[in-house]
Homo-oligomer: A and B are copies of this chain.
Amino acid sequence: MTKLESGEAGLESFAKIIGDATRIRMLQLLMEGRALTAKELAYGARVEPATATQHLRRLQEGGLVSMKAQGRHKYFKLASAQVAELMELLMVLAPARNGRSVEPRIEEPLRRGRMCYDHLAGELGIGITEALVKQGVLRQETDAFVLTRRGGAWFAALGIDVEAARALRRKFATSCLDWSERRDHLGGALGAALAERLVDLGWIARKRNSRAVTVTEAGWRKLAEHFPNAFDA
């Protein structure tokens, strides 16, 4: 054990990890909340995969991102909500230096409800997910949700073919870190099936050419029945 102040030295090398343009760009890409592959991050941050590997290793060592290998892909995402908090603070403080710059405010409708790929995010997605957990339909694990026995029945009752979703060659019920809310919500095949079904039922509707999702007139009552206490606040 070298004589190394764990506090100070830790902060210094941690700061170095953040203090690189490419790595910051990668973290920015991950702010959307979705898990990205190494290659996506490489090209997104405008470097070759070989270079990206090094950066991603350092980001992992710094506890800023977490990785999950799946087949020949490696999916990276922000390690915690605190990291997202840190990034947000950096983004707020940064432009102050660069002359005035209008704070890029999130459009309110998007904050309320939106599609994240093909499943629901925003307050709507989170409200629904948390209601399902509270009802015992889902159980939250480290980075995925598990459908309980009664949960299967619940989805079936809503008219969703759970087995079909399970058969798809994709993650079944992942937990996706929400960008605006910083909370986990249901993604994957099950999340997509649920979103699709709610649209089919006419409870929610997608705005044309937008990721925004709104609850329909009839939807409010129906959602309140099926997801109790989900939309109080």
Contact assessment for A12 and B21 in the assembled complex, using a CB-CB cutoff below 8 Å: yes
Chain B residues, CB < 8 A from A143: none
Contact assessment for A101 and B7 in the assembled complex, using a CB-CB cutoff below 8 Å: yes
A11 nearest CB neighbor, chain B only: B94
**A71 within 8 A of partner (CB):** no
Among A25, A90, A94, the most chain B Cβ lie within 10 Å of the Cβ of A94
21 residue pairs bridging A and B, Cβ less than 8 Å apart: A7-B101, A8-B25, A8-B28, A10-B94, A11-B24, A11-B90, A12-B24, A13-B98, A14-B90, A15-B21, A15-B24, A17-B19, A19-B19, A19-B20, A63-B93, A63-B97, A64-B93, A86-B89, A86-B90, A86-B93, A89-B89
Contact assessment for A97 and B16 in the assembled complex, using a CB-CB cutoff below 8 Å: no
Interface residues of A in 76-130 (CB under 8 A from B): 82-83, 85-86, 89-99, 101, 104
Chain B residues, CB < 8 A from A181: none
Instruction: Find A6's partner among B7, B12, B99 (CB 8 Å cutoff).
Output: B99
Instruction: Find A20's partner among B8, B15, B98 (CB 8 Å cutoff).
Output: B15
Contact assessment for A83 and B90 in the assembled complex, using a CB-CB cutoff below 8 Å: no
Question: What distance in Å separates the Cβ of A76 from its nearest Cβ neighbour in chain B?
Answer: 16
For A, the interface residue count at a CB cutoff of 8 angstroms equals 41
Interface residues of A in 53-83 (CB under 8 A from B): 61-64, 82-83
Interface residues of A in 23-71 (CB under 8 A from B): 23-25, 28, 61-64
| Identical copies of this chain, number | 2
Complexed CA–CA distance, A12 and B8 (Å): 24
**A167 within 8 A of partner (CB):** no
Question: What distance in Å separates the Cβ of A129 from its nearest Cβ neighbour in chain B?
Answer: 26
Contact assessment for A62 and B11 in the assembled complex, using a CB-CB cutoff below 8 Å: no
Complexed CA–CA distance, A208 and B25 (Å): 51
**A162 within 8 A of partner (CB):** no
Among A20, A25, A82, A89, the most chain B Cβ lie within 10 Å of the Cβ of A89
Interface residues of A in 110-163 (CB under 8 A from B): none
Among A64, A93, A96, the most chain B Cβ lie within 10 Å of the Cβ of A93
A10 nearest CB neighbor, chain B only: B98
Contact assessment for A10 and B89 in the assembled complex, using a CB-CB cutoff below 8 Å: no
Complexed CA–CA distance, A21 and B94 (Å): 19
Contact assessment for B97 and A14 in the assembled complex, using a CB-CB cutoff below 8 Å: yes
